[in-house]
Structure 1
Amino acid sequence: MPRNDQDQIGADGLDRGDFTFWDVAQPEEAVKAALDLYGPNAVTAAAHCALTARFDGRDRDYRFWSEVFTKLNDGKTPGTQLAS
């Protein structure tokens, strides 16, 4: 496919690494998506994402998914919820 120079419009800011997905991602939207996709396992899915990001050294991802986890966990700190 031939190159279209218009594909590059506004891309100069992206090349610097200043703008990432996490600049526009909203934890509240991720909470809704996780609940829709994983149902009652949404908290576990968010925890998995947070831990994977942490072990991969992706600090911004870790903070994002930790916030999603906290919102799904009713704002309770991990380990403070009693088993039913």
Structure 2
Amino acid sequence: MPKIHSNFAASYSELTLWELADPAATVEAAVELYGPDAATAAAWCALTANFDGREEDYRFWCTVFSKLGNRLQS
């Protein structure tokens, strides 16, 4: 059987949340899903990404966390 996606594993490991999601939309989804605990959920996601060595995903979640903090303070 021929390989359809011969480079899939290599490209998948390089895929980041920046390419899949928008931080502003993620903020809205987090607030809808977690309510007042949305910032805590984003912080956990950032920590998990950091400990997993996913620097770009860590930065994504830090951006989401920052936007949530700004939104909740307004």
Sort the TM-score into its range (normalised by shorter chain).
Answer: 0.7 to 0.9
Deviates more, 1:14-23 or 1:44-53: 14-23
Q: Distance in 1 between matches of 2:16 and 2:58?
A: 13
Q: Distance in 2 between matches of 1:21 and 1:33?
A: 18
Greater fraction helix: 2
Tell me, yes or no, if structure 1 residue 73 matches structure 2 residue 69.
yes
- Structure 2 spans left out of the alignment, 5+ residues: none
Q: Which residue of 2 aligns with 1:17?
A: 11
Q: TM-score, normalised to structure 2's length?
A: 0.73
RMSD value, Cα: 2.5
Structure with greater Cα Rg: 1
Any runs of at least 4 consecutive aligned residues in structure 1 with deviations exceeding 6 A, and if so which? none
Secondary structure of 2:70's counterpart equals coil
- How many percent of aligned residue pairs carry the same amino acid? 48
Tell me, yes or no, if structure 1 residue 31 matches structure 2 residue 27.
yes
Question: What is the total number of aligned residue pairs between the two structures?
Answer: 69
